[in-house]
Structure 1
Amino acid sequence: MLGVDATAEETAATRPGDALVRADVVMDRAFTVPGAPELVWPWLQQLGKRRAGWYLPRSVERFVPRGRRAARHLDDRWQHLVVGDVIPDYGGRDETFTVAVIESPHTLVYTSLRGHTHVSWSITLTATGPDTRVHLRLRLGPVKHRRLAETLGGLFDLLTIAGMAAGLRERLAE
């Protein structure tokens, strides 16, 4: 669906950060982009609110105010993440992610606390010939309204990651 479905093998695999959250809900997404992990990594490392933004394709970004559009270039000031760095997130005015694991150019894991729910978000890059497979795993727990998180949260996650995948592919091709 929308080109971001993880394979059964990707979903079954243990990912970095899995042990950080005892999850009630797990969402796996994956997509392939052109280029080696070393070329893709800097784009993912600079994601975030008040950083490079959240990539969307031009066809969607034209509806976003210019000042809120994501960067279309790599910016050195966002290329130096370390464990413990706090990144603002779009989940709310004061929502953040904290870097929990970083192993360039293959693994980036964030954690967050949203109310009483612990969150981990793992991004894993794997070389697949000349391309890179990007796998994203979102883990949530405890979740009070599990069905709601799986359906509405899952739909939001799907659309967000599909937009990011399309926007990232565009930027890598420029």
Structure 2
Amino acid sequence: MTKTEHSAAGRGAAAAVGVASFLGGLATGYRLFARRWCLSWGATEEEVRRRMPGDDLLLLPDMLSTRAITIEADPAAVWPWLVQFGPGRGGIYSYDWIDRLLGVDVHSARSILPQFQDLAVGDVVTVNSDGTPSRVAVLEPERALVFRTDDGNWIWEFGLYPCPEGTRLVSRNRIATPGASAVVRLFNTFFLEPGSLVMEQKMLRGIKERAEAHHLAEPVRIASKTP
């Protein structure tokens, strides 16, 4: 090896070490400082610890997130938007164009759709991009809605909790990845988790926006006085 070749090889090795160190630092920083925020965006400590309907369907998930938002409307005003949730139904209320790029034909409604309000336990509602069927596992009107994939590896829980401002909408994902390689698990941690925050944050805000706007648009009912 000539002196020039040796110098070039040294620079290449140094660059590789630098990139590896940067990526390692980024990964460490995410785990130490950003991951908890990413997985619990908007949720209080109590909400993260709270048991929710559906928790018992997957006791030891590989991935667990609990995210939440305050909606200035009562649970009855939020519930219809959850009941019609899903592709081919009322939509996902997130970035539709991203979902369509992922192969999910979704168009999020801006109004309550009566034809999708009669949801029942056992109904199929496919909510993920790979087309794995999901079914309604728990349905407690104006309180809880839980979806479970047929393979049992993904539980998506929604809870409605009254609060002074109106309603706390809590969304929890419990995901198992049996047989996943180390590379897949790393991808899930550093790409899927932040990506899910982007989509779910938009979804929660989308439900909030719709429920509040519809709630405000409802006519005020004034009880008539008895003569």
TM-score scaled by structure 2?
Answer: 0.65
Change over 3 Å in CA distance of 1:150–1:5 after alignment to 2: farther
Q: Which residue of 1 aligns with 2:89?
A: 51
Aligned-partner residue type, residue 148 of structure 1: F
Aligned-partner residue type, residue 36 of structure 1: D
Gaps of 5+ in 1: none
1:148 pairs with 2:183: no
User: Which digits, 9 at most, give the CA deviation of each residue in 1:58-93, with x for residues without a partner?
Assistant: xx669999x95311000111111111000122422x
Question: CA shift at 1:19, angstroms?
Answer: 0.9
Following the alignment from structure 2 to structure 1, what is the Cα–Cα distance between the partners of residues 137 and 99? 31
Change over 3 Å in CA distance of 1:100–1:8 after alignment to 2: same
Following the alignment from structure 2 to structure 1, what is the Cα–Cα distance between the partners of residues 74 and 145? 16
Q: Which residue of 2 aligns with 1:107?
A: 144
Secondary structure of 2:205's aligned partner: helix
Following the alignment from structure 2 to structure 1, what is the Cα–Cα distance between the partners of residues 68 and 79? 15
Q: Which residue of 2 aligns with 1:72?
A: 110
Q: Which residue of 1 aligns with 2:26?
A: none
Percent of paired sites with the same residue: 30
Among residues 208, 213, 216, which one is paired with 1:169 in the alignment?
208
Across the aligned residues of Structure 1 and Structure 2, the Cα RMSD in angstroms comes to: 2.6
Q: Which residue of 1 aligns with 2:159?
A: 124
User: Which digits, 9 at most, give the CA deviation of each residue in 1:18-55, with x for residues without a partner?
Assistant: 11013122111111111000100101111100001111
Aligned-partner residue type, residue 133 of structure 1: R
Change over 3 Å in CA distance of 1:91–1:113 after alignment to 2: farther
Q: Is the 8 A contact 1:126 1:134 kept in 2?
A: yes
Q: Is the 8 A contact 1:4 1:161 kept in 2?
A: no
Pick the structure with greater CA Rg: 2
Following the alignment from structure 1 to structure 2, what is the Cα–Cα distance between the partners of residues 134 and 91? 23
Q: Which has the higher strand share?
A: 1
Following the alignment from structure 2 to structure 1, what is the Cα–Cα distance between the partners of residues 115 and 208? 22
Gaps of 5+ in 2: 1-36, 215-227
Change over 3 Å in CA distance of 1:13–1:75 after alignment to 2: same
Q: Which has the higher helix share?
A: 2
Q: Is the 8 A contact 2:58 2:155 kept in 1?
A: yes
Following the alignment from structure 2 to structure 1, what is the Cα–Cα distance between the partners of residues 160 and 80? 12
Secondary structure of 1:50's aligned partner: coil
Following the alignment from structure 1 to structure 2, what is the Cα–Cα distance between the partners of residues 45 and 136? 14
Larger relative contact order (Cα-Cα within 8 Å, sequence gap ≥ 6)? 1
Q: Which residue of 2 aligns with 1:24?
A: 62
Q: Is the 8 A contact 2:71 2:165 kept in 1?
A: no
